Amino acid sequence: MRFRAKIVDVACLNHFSRIINTIAKLAKTCILRLTVCKLYFILSDKVANGGASMWCELSQGNFFDEFQMEGVAAEHNEIYLELVPENLSRALKTSQSAKAVKIKLTNKHCPCLRVAVELPSLSSSSRIVTHDIPVGVIPRRMWNDFREPSVPDFDVSLCFYIP
């Protein structure tokens, strides 16, 4: 399994940070599903016990300037990680004036998402602040628990009048 991504555009970085901040307010832990084209943030608490469900789907091309991902196998080219979104939110708070942010899946002592924030400095060299966010790797036998929920067809019409 390999994952590496880079955000250079400040607007994309701010948008991504706002999404992560919102998810952090909704859930203590969530599942990050990585595919070649998309990222998914999934929360599937048991609704019978009063839990909530969330499905957030992001196209990687809308946020990342570089995106490389290799899944667990060629026929199952996906990665499922359990993480605390608050930790990712805190790491991204240091990126408000960043030149670039790199996110990488590492496995030094335990599986981690490494967030490296490149900050501008007064000298010609840059400062890099690194955050290692522990993650849990979800085994393939549990992937079916995190499939897209079925949503009934809906018919909604909205009309706004602004004088």
What's the confidence (pLDDT) of residue 51?
64
Domains and CATH numbers, the chain: 2-142 (3.70.10.10)
Q: What is the 3-state secondary structure (H, E, C) of the chain?
A: CEEEEEECCHHHHHHHHHHHHHHHHHCCCEEEEECCCEEEEEEECCHHHCCCEEEEEEEHHHCCCEEEEECCCCCCCCEEEEECHHHHHHHHHCCCCCCEEEEEEEECCCEEEEEEEEECCCCCCCEEEEEEEECEECCHHHHHHHCCCCCCCCCCCCCCCCC
What predicted TM-score, i.e. pTM, was given to this entire model?
0.84
**Residues 87-139: pLDDT tens digits?**
999 999 888 788 899 999 999 889 999 999 998 877 777 789 999 999 999 99
**Residues 21-78: pLDDT tens digits?**
999 998 889 999 999 999 999 986 655 455 677 888 999 999 999 999 998 888 889 9
Q: For residue 22, how many C-alpha atoms fall within 13 Å in the half-sphere facing its CB? A: 11
Indicate the Cα dihedral angle 107, 115, 104, 87, nearest 10°. 60
d(CA 140, CA 137): 9
pLDDT class for 163, splitting at 50, 70, 90? low
Answer for the pair 93, 53: CB distance below 8 angstroms, yes or no: no
